[in-house]
């Protein structure tokens, strides 16, 4: 049976480091970190991590008075299988889901941001970078782009590029659960 426990000091330290370096906007916002003993599986993929927003009644029941707060859920088995660089990338990824927006009244509201990109490998294989978010993603990955035509860009990895430098393996690209209040990262089993 899956049970839950607190994160170790080492994990919390890693999260603090990534937050300080890249997510200063989360400063002062409550972020709970919880480990489950066994990773969940969604659509045949192991869930590496899950970003949640606890609000309303759940926040009240958590003795937070209804104030929304973030929860980062990780799993012992999935975490153990990751290299240190992948752990840091996973943390960085999950923290990207945690965002704060300011309303017209000036109130700050925490929310979960969706991924910048969702697409099928088959479509990119057949159609190339056919829309702006795909182009932005490829540029972010610093993938060399062959072919100048906007309607026919192809992605190929540089042959002299060292894949070992990549912060996260291709098979660790996250998938969104698409459910309100949570976002998950999956890796093929
Ligand atoms: Zn994600």
For 72-90, the pLDDT digits (tens) are: 999 999 999 999 999 999 9
* 86 CA → ligand 1 middle, Å: 14
Q: Is the pTM of this model over 0.85?
A: no
* 65 CA → ligand 1 middle, Å: 27
* 149 CA → ligand 1 middle, Å: 31
What's the pLDDT band for 122 if we cut at 50, 70, 90?
Answer: very high
* 148 CA → ligand 1 middle, Å: 31
Q: What is the CA radius of gyration of the chain?
A: 18
Going along the chain from its start, the domains and CATH numbers come out as 4-112 (3.30.2010), 121-179 (no CATH)
Cβ atoms of residues 53 and 111 within 8 Å: yes
């Amino acid at each position: 049976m899956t049970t839950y426990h607190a994160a170790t000091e080492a994990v919390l330290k890693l999260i603090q480091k990534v937050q300080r370096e890249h997510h200063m906007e989360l400063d002062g916002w409550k972020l709970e970190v919880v480990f489950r003993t066994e990773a969940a599986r969604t659509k045949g993929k192991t869930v590496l991590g899950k970003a949640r927003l606890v609000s309303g009644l759940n926040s009240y029941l958590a003795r937070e008075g209804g104030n929304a707060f973030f929860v980062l859920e990780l799993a012992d088995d999935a975490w153990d299988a990751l290299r240190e660089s992948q752990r840091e990338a996973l943390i960085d990824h999950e923290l990207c889901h945690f965002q704060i927006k300011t309303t017209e009244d000036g109130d700050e509201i925490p929310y979960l941001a969706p991924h910048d990109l969702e697409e099928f490998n088959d479509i990119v294989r057949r159609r190339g970078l056919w829309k702006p978010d795909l182009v932005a993603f490829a540029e972010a990955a610093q993938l060399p782009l062959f072919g100048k035509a906007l309607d026919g860009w192809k992605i190929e990895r540089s042959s002299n590029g060292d894949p070992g430098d990549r912060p996260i393996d291709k098979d660790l690209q996250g998938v969104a659960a698409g459910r309100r209040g949570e976002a998950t990262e999956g890796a093929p089993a």
